[in-house]
Structure 1
């Protein structure tokens, strides 16, 4: 593998920004301001060099799999396109939030199995490191065999506990962000035979390729599993702990919910839905994740806490692409423009912090011995940044030359 040096760029280091020459050898960062020694020189003048991003949760790949409701495209072609999008957006490590649900179609266990198998088969052709976040719907007991298989696969996945079933049946008189602990015996449940519930399920039904009446019947059937769910959660958590997989809980609405999943090994709070939960996570030393689209837009589309506000309160450690890969870079740019923090500190939200939370000690910062996962940015003052080159372990994953 050819050695090279990136010279002239403004470099985002772990705690400051400086004009440093970065030498890469055998996929690793070999020197900072070291000698050229015959290495190829990449001109970084006028550009910003940063650690490539680590995306802890992204489900934008679903748009490649199903660009329209009910229209599924071939899995391998969809994942190859996703990989290109990741590289073009400076993301060198991606955890695809692969929903494993009792729904048929896009978020089914069958589709999840196809994606896991396709990523393994495509690995030699992919440009970035495509991992999986097993975004497990806890009412989907059928997913356990796939979870167990994936946990011993070549790239250790993350396991995320999701309970969109309980969220779906919440009585509309209770705000989603403040709903009780999911396993509270007094949880307020809507009328699952009523017209309002059927209308609410129409979008899910389309995604699943089912008639709305059939889908609502499926939801009523799955709800009968509720008493068994805690034991199955315990089993899945045990399997993940056994292999050291990072675990997350999703959309927590109560400190009790966060405590419950922490007790099963989930030390990452993903998209906490109110200030009390985020505060409880911080007090316990958990990692806290918010969506980059939230930060890039200036607020949540669901009415959950704003990422910028949470960052200011010391309650945000990581930004995830969520449903839009370009949002990761856009979020950092907006936060910097709004004076939310220094660039080096803001960049930790998308590189060093997610890498540490996920147990990836070899990446996320520009430092000696770390993986040469790098991104060169064209970032004029007062204008949005754009990716010009992405390197993964020193390998060119993406390159774009401006017309000027």
Structure 2
């Protein structure tokens, strides 16, 4: 790997932006100072922000690469490579693909979860982003329990979430348009889908014991756990008692407040911030952020959202950029137990973005360094200069 020097940019060091140079060697930041050093690659970041790489602990936009239309499948390796390009170009240097293993056949089936995990493991060396596996377990999917316990024990799962969309499924079955999308996703006939839902709900009494066993397996494997769409402080407390310390998308302020008071990590979706509210009509993320009830923003279903959300929070005077950026870098890194990234500091992993913020609310990622490698560059002319106006931007030392 080639050493890199970044100079003249406005770097986010702690809670301040300062014009300072950073030297990268191997995978790490080895020196931060105000002097201009030397390295085989020197990048002049004048006029650009130098920011920690984005950490995304919950993103399922890759599903659209796998199945861009209902019933239209593309190979998983093609989908994952394209998703990696999308993530990196939007500044995401650590990505947890949030794969749902449901009781449904089709896109969220066990077969798809297995193929996805195997493909991530096989292709991981090719990806520019540090790519990890976040398993979203539908709690009514009782038949998956034994295999998931094996995956946890084998260290194949990086984050483990408890999901329960059964009540929503039953409610949506009464809405023709939503029901049609659900049935199309599974590939079943309408009658077969009804029969399957009836069979699954008949086993509801067995769900709590299964959750307890899986939580115990995750604790033994030291895998961090999330609970999805917590409905009440009591629900959050019950999951916390089982070692589930991350509240993912609590659906009301009361639950988010209780989670914050208990010291839980709290995740909301960055698209919620960018769009000005939840597409489901639930909690408005920017309100929760303003009240201190959010520590992580995830891409959720749209990779550009984290980058856009940080600048939106700053522009709306909800948080200054440094604190807003922590929601997409330091906060998710801490929640996921990744102590080597999320901030620009000596000895930390060199996941670094160069961002052009000249146009309000439309930040543009100009370059991405991931684990010390320059993996993305969109504006070589700006960094390298032109014949008419040369700049010492990328030069041999």
User: Does 2:303 correspond to 1:325?
Assistant: yes
Q: Which residue of 1 aligns with 2:214?
A: 236
Q: Distance in 1 between matches of 2:332 and 2:361?
A: 26
Residue 156 of structure 1 deviates from its aligned partner by 4.8
Residue 211 of structure 1 deviates from its aligned partner by 1.4
2:21–2:36 contact (8 Å) kept in structure 1: no
**1:18-97 maps to which residues of 2 (within 5 A)?**
18-33=18-33, 36-97=37-98
Q: Distance in 2 between matches of 1:395 and 1:144?
A: 39
Q: Distance in 2 between matches of 1:256 and 1:93?
A: 32
Q: Distance in 1 between matches of 2:377 and 2:57?
A: 24
**1:44-193 maps to which residues of 2 (within 5 A)?**
44-152=45-153, 156-169=157-170
1:159–1:248 contact (8 Å) kept in structure 2: yes
CA deviations over 1:85-126 (Å, ceiling 9, x no partner): 111111011111100001001000110000000011111211
- Runs (4+) of structure 1 exceeding 6 A deviation are none
What is the alpha-carbon root mean square deviation over aligned residues? 1.7
**1:201-212 maps to which residues of 2 (within 5 A)?**
201-212=179-190
1:360 is aligned, of 338, 349, 355, to 338
1:14–1:345 contact (8 Å) kept in structure 2: no
Residue 72 of structure 1 deviates from its aligned partner by 1.3
CA deviations over 1:225-259 (Å, ceiling 9, x no partner): 10000010011101110111111000111111111
Structure 1 unpaired stretches of 5+: 173-191
Q: Distance in 1 between matches of 2:145 and 2:191?
A: 27
Residue 15 of structure 1 deviates from its aligned partner by 1.5
Q: Distance in 2 between matches of 1:16 and 1:155?
A: 38
2:12–2:50 contact (8 Å) kept in structure 1: yes
Q: Distance in 2 between matches of 1:266 and 1:67?
A: 33
State the TM-score, normalized to the length of structure 2: 0.92
2:5–2:38 contact (8 Å) kept in structure 1: no
Residue 19 of structure 1 deviates from its aligned partner by 1.0
Q: Distance in 2 between matches of 1:204 and 1:48?
A: 43
State how many pairs are aligned: 381
Q: Distance in 1 between matches of 2:39 and 2:292?
A: 45
1:343 is aligned, of 305, 314, 321, to 321
Q: Distance in 1 between matches of 2:238 and 2:203?
A: 19
Q: Which residue of 1 aligns with 2:389?
A: none
State the TM-score, normalized to the length of structure 1: 0.91
Q: CA 1:394–1:155 in 2, change beyond 3 Å: closer, same or farther?
A: farther
Q: Distance in 2 between matches of 1:337 and 1:199?
A: 37
* Aligned-partner SS, 2:112: helix
Q: Which residue of 1 aligns with 2:354?
A: 376
Q: Which residue of 2 aligns with 1:4?
A: 4
CA deviations over 1:251-278 (Å, ceiling 9, x no partner): 1111111111112211111011001110
Q: Distance in 2 between matches of 1:367 and 1:72?
A: 43
Q: CA 1:25–1:64 in 2, change beyond 3 Å: closer, same or farther?
A: same
Q: Which residue of 1 aligns with 2:238?
A: 260
Q: Which residue of 1 aligns with 2:371?
A: 393
1:14–1:348 contact (8 Å) kept in structure 2: no
Q: Distance in 2 between matches of 1:348 and 1:23?
A: 22
Residue 169 of structure 1 deviates from its aligned partner by 2.8
2:55–2:332 contact (8 Å) kept in structure 1: yes
Q: CA 1:375–1:145 in 2, change beyond 3 Å: closer, same or farther?
A: farther
Greater displacement, 388-397 / 378-387: 378-387
User: Does 2:304 correspond to 1:303?
Assistant: no
2:315–2:361 contact (8 Å) kept in structure 1: no
Q: Which residue of 1 aligns with 2:261?
A: 283
